[in-house]
């Protein structure tokens, strides 16, 4: 008798680095459960790592920022050919552009099962710029049309985003669910002792974007300097030229030369960051679920972040970290000064934060929930 064909899952992700940093554990679990895994993505530096896992890599010229009609038409045609050739049993789209484009092709070809994962509602729904406002009505219409027509479910990372999308897209009952991020490996990220150096250090780990609150952090740094409070502020991450809210390398270097912050660029192993920093900060405008804060908490670091969707979901206020109002640089400075001046509070929040992440945001929990969804959809 011929051996039964393996079920096939196709991941559609804009960037290969994002797949490796946020979806690799789930893809491994699908592979280990007997599924054939293919990944369609823009390939830069992580193609070999994807292939090493035994996944089939399908290069795709995806450009997150592009609005060129000719380029987008070519991308859609390429996706049509990929989906028709691969004939996946399940497709997993990650982020707004793959969700829109992938769902359109999946609808045309009547794909058996579709998972649409939105790690936050992104630039189009959160930015106040004219470009985002212009695109918003089209995105709302497309989401409303597509998400209720493809056969599958929509994953959001926090309840606020779920409510917003249900309203915007008029999602039918049972179409969406919340799975808390991509999970944290609690073995890899161990609790770390407090740094031995006496100069209190805070680190922000993210892409260097205005939307991540970098400008608010710079203003908070100026406020702390005026008050005579000495606090070392480290920035880890790179500008993102494909994102409209990116900061320039020149600007980051200027702030470093001014002595307000130290921009360190990219660090592949963030454990080294939390060995050096006493606590974490992320004054973001909105997140799906900020992985950098979850990893910091797993390393037993207290958190200062904004009281916005996504960020507030990873903090138990006054227990694992501090929440500040969005855009309030003075409140941000005060919260940072408070943690800088209280080692016992930092230690207590770090210990409680690790327990909180282990219970609700661990890699094991996220994989179990996602694989249960895969099994349910492929059985149908």
Average pLDDT over residues 321-345: 97
pLDDT of 3 above 60: no
pLDDT at position 130: 67
Copy the structure tokens of residue 354. Answer: 């690790």
Mean pLDDT score of the chain, rounded to an integer? 92
> Which pLDDT value is given to residue 63?
72
Confidence of residue 96 (pLDDT cuts 50, 70, 90): confident
CB 315 within 8 A of CB 303: yes
What mean pLDDT comes out for the span 269-280?
97
Q: Are 371 and 339 in contact (CB under 8 A)?
A: no
Residue 2 has pLDDT above 60, yes or no: no
Burial of 273 (0-12, 13-18, 19+ CB in 10 A): buried
Q: What secondary structure, in 3-state letters, does the chain show?
A: CCCCCCCEEEEEEEEHHHHHHHCHHHHHHHHHCCCEEEEEEECCCCHHHHHHCCCEEEECCCCCCCCCHHHHHHHHHHHHHHHHHHCCCEEEEECHHHHHHHHHHHHHHCCCCEEEEECCCHHHHHCCCHHHHHHHHHHHHHHHHHHCCCCEEEEECCHHHHHHHHHHHCCCCCCEEECCCCCECCCCCCCCCCCCCCCCEEEEECCCEHHHCHHHHHHHHHHHHHCCCCCEEEEECCCCCCCCCECCHHHHHHHHHHCCCEEEECCCCCHHHHHHCCEEEECCCCCCCCHHHHHHHHCCCEEEEECCCCCHHHCCECCCEEEECCCCHHHHHHHHHHHHCCHHHHHHHHHHHHHHHHHHCEHHHHHHHHHHHHHHHHHC
Contact 163, 326 (CB under 8 A): no
What confidence score (pLDDT) does residue 265 get? 95
What is the pLDDT averaged over residues 102-131?
83
List, for residues 14-43, the tens digit of each pLDDT value.
Answer: 999 999 988 999 999 999 999 999 999 999
Q: What is the mean pLDDT of residues 126-138?
A: 72
Top-confidence residue, 65 or 271:
271
**How large is the average pLDDT for residues 283-288?**
90
Are 8-183+362-379 and 201-360 the same fold in CATH? yes
- Here the tokens at position 313 are 């979901």
Q: What is the mean pLDDT of residues 337-344?
A: 96
Q: What is the pLDDT of residue 65?
A: 63
Confidence of residue 124 (pLDDT cuts 50, 70, 90): low
**Residues facing residue 155 across a β-bridge:** 117, 177
Mean pLDDT of 283-293: 92
Chosen CATH of 8-183+362-379 out of 3.40.50.2000, 3.30.2020.30, 3.30.360.10, 1.10.10.60: 3.40.50.2000
Residue scoring higher pLDDT (12 or 242): 12
Measured between alpha carbons, how far is 271 from 195 in angstroms, rounded to an integer?
Answer: 12
Query: pTM value?
Result: 0.84
Domain residue ranges of the chain, discontinuous segments joined by +? 8-183+362-379, 201-360
Digit-coded pLDDT (tens) for 209-226: 999 999 999 999 999 999
CATH among 3.40.50.2000, 3.30.70.2740, 2.40.50.140, 3.40.50.2300 for 201-360:
3.40.50.2000
């Amino acid at each position: 008798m011929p051996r039964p064909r393996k079920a096939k899952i196709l991941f559609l992700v804009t960037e290969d680095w994002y797949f490796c940093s946020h979806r690799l554990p789930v893809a491994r679990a699908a592979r280990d459960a007997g599924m054939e895994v293919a990944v369609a993505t823009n390939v830069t530096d992580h193609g070999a790592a994807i292939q090493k896992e035994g996944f089939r890599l399908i290069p795709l010229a995806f450009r997150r920022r592009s609005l060129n009609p000719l380029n987008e038409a070519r991308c859609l045609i390429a996706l049509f050919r990929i989906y028709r050739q691969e004939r996946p049993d399940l497709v997993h789209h990650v982020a707004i552009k793959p969700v829109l484009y992938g769902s359109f092709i999946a609808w045309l070809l009547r794909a058996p099962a579709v998972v649409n994962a939105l790690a936050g509602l992104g630039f189009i729904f959160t930015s106040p710029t004219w470009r985002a406002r212009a695109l918003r009505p089209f995105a709302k219409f497309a989401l409303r049309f597509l998400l209720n027509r493809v056969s599958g479910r929509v994953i959001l990372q926090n309840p606020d985003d779920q409510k917003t999308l249900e309203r915007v897209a008029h999602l039918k009952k049972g179409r969406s669910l919340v799975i808390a991020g991509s999970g944290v490996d609690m073995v890899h990220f161990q609790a770390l002792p407090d740094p031995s150096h006496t100069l209190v250090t805070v680190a922000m780990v993210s892409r260097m974007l205005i939307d991540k609150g970098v400008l608010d952090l710079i203003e908070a740094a100026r406020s702390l300097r005026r008050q005579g409070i000495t606090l070392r502020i480290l920035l880890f991450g790179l500008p993102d030229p494909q994102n409209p809210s990116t900061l320039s390398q020149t600007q980051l270097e200027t702030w470093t030369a001014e002595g307000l912050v130290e921009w360190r660029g990219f660090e592949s192993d963030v454990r080294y960051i939390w060995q050096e920093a006493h606590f974490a900060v992320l004054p973001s405008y909105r997140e799906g679920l900020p992985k950098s804060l979850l990893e910091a908490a797993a390393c037993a670091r207290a958190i200062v972040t904004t009281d916005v969707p996504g960020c507030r979901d990873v903090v138990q206020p006054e227990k694992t970290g501090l929440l500040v109002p969005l855009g309030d640089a003075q409140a941000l400075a005060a919260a940072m000064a408070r943690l800088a001046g209280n080692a016992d509070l930092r230690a207590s929040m770090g210990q409680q934060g690790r327990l909180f992440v282990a219970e609700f945001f661990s890699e094991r929990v996220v994989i179990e929930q996602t694989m249960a969804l895969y099994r349910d959809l492929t059985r149908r």
